[in-house]
Amino acid sequence: MSFYSWKERVNALFRRICWKRTAAAAVLLFVIVSSNLAYQPWTAAASSLPFRDIDGSYAKEAISRLYQLNLIDGTGNGKFEPYRVVTRAEFTTMIARLFRLEPVDGAIPVFSDVPRSSWAYGWVEAAAQLGLVSGLSANHFGPGRAVSRQDAAVMIARAAKLSGSPVAGVSPVYLDQGHIAGYALESVLRLRQLGLMSGYGSVFRPADPITRQEAAVLLDNIVRLSGWMPQIQAPSKPNIRLAWQYGLTTAQFEQQVQLANVNTLSPRWYFLEPSGIERTTNYDAELTKWAHRNGYSVWAMVGNHFDRDATHDHLSDAKLRAAAVSALTNEVQQNGLDGLNIDFENVAPADRSAFTSFVAELADALHPLNATLSVNLSPDFGTDWTAAYDYDALGQSADYIVMMGYDEHWGNDPQPGSVASLPWLKKGLGTLLQHVPANQVILAMPLYTRDWTVSGGRTVASEEWSLTAQNDFVANHALPAVWDAELGQYTTSYRIQGKDHALWLEDGRSLSEKMKLGETMSIAGYAYWSLGGESPDVWASLRNAYRYASYRFN
C-alpha cells in the first residue's frame, strides 16, 4: 500500500473518530514521515497481544500497533498499565522516538534529577539537547511528574517547530480557556487551529493528566491520519562531514573513523617545506585504499608549518609556485586522492595576491582530474591574521572554504574564554557568507577545550584538553556545569592548589548548537579538529542534530 493510497479512506475514518480521547493527539504528529514507516493494519488474528493487561482496554489495537512500531513500551512483567498516567519521562521518550532520534549517553547531564542510571536518560538527553523539551527549572526535569494536557500541547508545539507561529482567531474557543496557563495558550490554540488537538466538547481541561491507554489511542489516531499531515522533507543529499587526522596512527584513525559520523578523511600528509612540497612520515597509502573500500573520500591536508618566510618564498615566485602545484597534482593522480585540503596559516598580508594565485592555479590543475579543492580559513574579523586571504576570490577558485570555527580564545590569549562560542561563530559565518555561497562553506568545530588558570579575570596559563579529559575531570571532581544559552555551552570553575581555574565546556549539546546554527544557514557541511579528541557520545548528538534540523513542516 503506497503512502498516499489510503488517504481518502483515512480522511473518512477521521470524521468518525471520537475526539473525546484526543488529549495528546499530536505526540506522533509526524510518525510516518519521520520514521519512514508506513501504517500497517493490525488485527488480533494477525498477532497476539503484546501485553497481558490490555485485552479489556479500548486501546488494545492502538497499543499493539504502536508497540510494533517501537514507539511505546510496557512497564515490565508483561504489563502496559493502560490506566496509569503518562509521565514526563515517558512522554519525552515518545517524542524522541517519533523523530527517530538516537538515545544519547551524554557525558554532562542536562538535568540533575535524570541521572545516567535512569532508564530514560538517553531519551531525555537526546530531546533536551535539541530543545524539544525543557525542564521545570534550569536543571530539574521532573521525570516522574504526570503530563497535563496543556503541557502536552507545549511539548508537541515545540518539537514540531510550531512555537511562535501566528494563531488566527484569538477569541475564546473553550469555556475553560481562562484556566489554560499563559505559557501554554499559544500552543493549545495553534494545535487546535491545525486540527491536531481538540478539547472535550466545549472545554479543554488543561490540567487533566493523560493516561497511557488514552495516549496510545491518540497517537494511533495521528498515525492513521498521516496522509494529511505536514511532511518531513529529508535533505536531497548528505552533507560533507570531514575529520582531520592528527596525533593518531593509521590504525587508530581508522578505528575512530568507524565510530564517527564522518564521510571524508583528511590526513596531514603534505607540507610546504623550504625545499618544496614534501610528504610527511605519516603518509600511508594503505589508508587511502582502506577509505575507498569503506566508502570514504580522502582529501589530504597540505600545511605550511605556520612558516611565513617559506610560504612567501614559494608563493611569490611564479616558478616555485608552479612547482608546488605540479607536485601536489602528481600526488593526487599517483595516489588516487579525492582532493586536497589547503591549510596555510600565518601568511603575510603582502602575500595576499600570491596566495590567491596559488589556489586558483591549483584549482585549475585539480578540476580536470575531478579532484576537490578545499581551503581552511579563519573567520574574518578584520585582523592581520586574515588580511592575506581574499575570501571572494578564494571562494571562486576552491570548491569549499572551511571556516576554522575555533580558537576564539587561543592558548596565549590574555583573556580567558570559550574556544568557540555561538555568537562568535554566528558572526564569523555571517561574514563569510557575504563572500562565499553557503553551499561552498564547511564549518569546522573543535573536539577540544582549554583549562584556564586565571587571576583577576586574566589568563595565567592554559592547557588544551580533549573532550574525554574534560569530561573525566568534571565527573571526578563533581564540578557543577551551568548551561549558558547565549554562549551555547556549559561553563564551570574550580580552585585547586590555591589557583583558580575556568572551563568553557564542549560536549554533544554545545556541538549540536553549532550544527543547528550551520543548518539555519544551509551550509555544505562540517569538519572536526581533530578526530580522537571527542567523547563517543557526541556522534549520536550530532546525528540527531542534523536529522532534526533537516525536518521541514509545511
Distance CA 220, CA 217 (A): 5
Q: Residue ranges of the domains in the chain?
A: 7-228, 240-446+517-536+546-550
Looking at the predicted structure, is the pLDDT value of residue 249 above 60? Answer: yes
Distance CA 481, CA 307 (A): 39
- pLDDT for res 193: 82
- pLDDT interval class at 553 (50, 70, 90): low
Looking at the predicted structure, is the pLDDT value of residue 42 above 90? Answer: no
| Average pLDDT of span 261-271 | 98
Residue with more model confidence, 30 or 370: 370
Predicted model pTM: 0.89
Distance CA 277, CA 270 (A): 7
pLDDT tens digit string along 433-483? 999 999 999 999 999 999 999 999 999 999 999 999 999 999 999 999 999
Distance CA 330, CA 365 (A): 10
Select the highest-mean-pLDDT range: 3-12, 207-216, 230-239, 460-469. 460-469
Q: Which CATH superfamily is domain 240-446+517-536+546-550 in?
A: Glycosidases (3.20.20.80)
Looking at the predicted structure, is the pLDDT value of residue 347 above 90? Answer: yes
Smallest CA-to-CA distance from 125 within 110, 112, 143 is with 110
Residue with more model confidence, 9 or 441: 441
- pLDDT for res 199: 85
Residue with more model confidence, 141 or 220: 141
Cell of 373: 579543492
pLDDT tens digit string along 506-546? 999 999 999 999 999 999 999 999 999 999 999 999 999 99
CA distances to 103, 170, 389, 417 from 536, rounded to whole Å, are 13, 48, 35, 25
| Average pLDDT of span 326-346 | 98
- pLDDT for res 151: 92
End-to-end CA distance of the chain: 24
- pLDDT for res 254: 98
- pLDDT interval class at 47 (50, 70, 90): low
Looking at the predicted structure, is the pLDDT value of residue 41 above 90? Answer: no
Share of the chain above pLDDT 90, in %: 76
| Average pLDDT of span 105-131 | 97
- pLDDT for res 227: 40
- pLDDT for res 377: 98
| Average pLDDT of span 343-352 | 98
142, 135 Cβ separation under 8 angstroms: yes
Non-local CB neighbours of 439 within 8 Å, separated by 6+ positions: 522, 523, 524
Smallest CA-to-CA distance from 24 within 171, 187, 165 is with 187
Mean pLDDT of the chain: 89
Residue with more model confidence, 59 or 8: 59
Least confident interval from 23-37, 154-168, 309-323, 505-519: 23-37
Looking at the predicted structure, is the pLDDT value of residue 55 above 80? Answer: yes
Question: Could you tell me which residues are beta bridge partners of residue 527?
Answer: 242, 444
Cell of 24: 495528546
Question: Could you tell me which residues are beta bridge partners of residue 341?
Answer: 301, 374
Distance CA 138, CA 203 (A): 32
- pLDDT for res 165: 63
Distance CA 254, CA 120 (A): 32
Helical segments of 412-551, H only: 422-432, 467-476, 508-520, 537-550
| Average pLDDT of span 385-414 | 98
CA distances to 98, 352, 397, 433 from 437, rounded to whole Å, are 34, 21, 12, 6
- pLDDT interval class at 153 (50, 70, 90): confident
Distance CA 159, CA 34 (A): 12
According to DSSP, residue 449 is labeled E
According to DSSP, residue 239 is labeled P
